[in-house]
Amino acid sequence: MKKHIVCFGDSNTHGYCAEPADCAEGGDRFNENERWTCLLQKALGEDYLVLEEGLSGRTTVFPDPLHECMSGLDAIYSCLMSHEPVDLLIIMLGTNDTKERLGANAACIGIGMERLALKAATVPAWRGGKPNILIIAPPHIGEGMYLDPCGEPMGLGCPEKSRGLAPRYAELCARLGFAFLDAEGLAEFNKKDCMHLTRRGHRQLAEALAGLVPTLLGGHGQ
């Protein structure tokens, strides 16, 4: 059986494209030759199965009063069990947690990520019974968010809070034995809404993960 890699995230895992001109097909979602999950699959090869579990608007643990089923905590059990046996879980969340209406600061978002990861570790879906989790801190939301129509419902304080996530994620990963990757400066966000990956950003993230993932699964980088 192939090694199962579950990619659990939000719109940046789903592949939302904020600038249609940046997409090969001109739509609002990058295609299978552009999304980082699909590019990672191609880079890793046939011994691996990369499973996309991206939902636009998803948070770590916070319900959203405007949208249904946004809490990752509520979905992680069924997600992992539907893909078992799981060899690696990649979590990239936190951007939506910064929304003003959710009332969470960077410290609370870090606690939310810890709670989500610890819950995932208890799910009986792991191959050999051993959890293997990589947490990615997303790139920082840019100040230009406020100039885009998407920024208004996000509310105030999002860029500041997003800048505080990586150190908190890094600390919890070091303490709990999870792997960590900071995508700031590694994967490019667009200049339109300043909170979604560009096509280039998807490629950059896939390239970084193609080297890291095999080391987390007992193999060697590509």
Percent helix, strand, coil in the chain, to 5, is 45, 15, 40
> With left for phi above 0 and alpha for psi between -120 and 50, is residue 17 left, alpha or beta?
beta
Q: How many domains does the chain have?
A: 1
* pLDDT (mean) for 1-21: 97
The C-alpha angle 137, 138, 142, rounded to 5 degrees, equals 130
Could you tell me if residue 16 is inside a domain? yes
Could you tell me if residue 175 is inside a domain? yes
- What pTM did the predictor assign? 0.97
Task: Give the per-residue pLDDT at 219.
Answer: 64
161 sits in which H/E element: helix 158-163
Could you tell me if residue 204 is inside a domain? yes
**What backbone phi and psi angles, to 5 degrees, belong to 74?**
-75, -20
CATH of the domain at 81: 3.40.50.1110
Could you tell me if residue 222 is inside a domain? no
Asked if residue 31 has pLDDT above 70, the reply is yes
Query: What domain range is 34 assigned to?
Result: 3-216
Structure tokens at 15: 């592949």
Q: Per residue in 135-189, pLDDT tens?
A: 999 999 999 999 999 889 999 999 999 999 999 999 999 999 999 999 999 999 9
Q: Residue 161 in contact with residue 95, Cβ under 8 Å?
A: no
Question: What span, in angstroms and rounded, lies between the C-alpha atoms of 68 and 211?
Answer: 36
Could you tell me if residue 221 is inside a domain? no
Asked if residue 221 has pLDDT above 90, the reply is no
How many alpha carbons fall within 13 Å on the CB side of residue 99?
Answer: 22
Q: Residue 98 in contact with residue 161, Cβ under 8 Å?
A: yes
Q: Per residue in 52-61, pLDDT tens?
A: 999 999 999 9
Q: Residue 138 in contact with residue 183, Cβ under 8 Å?
A: yes
Q: Per residue in 77-135, pLDDT tens?
A: 999 999 999 999 999 999 999 999 999 999 999 999 999 999 999 999 999 999 999 99
Asked if residue 3 has pLDDT above 90, the reply is yes
Task: Give the per-residue pLDDT at 135.
Answer: 99
Question: What span, in angstroms and rounded, lies between the C-alpha atoms of 91 and 10?
Answer: 9
Q: Residue 203 in contact with residue 15, Cβ under 8 Å?
A: no
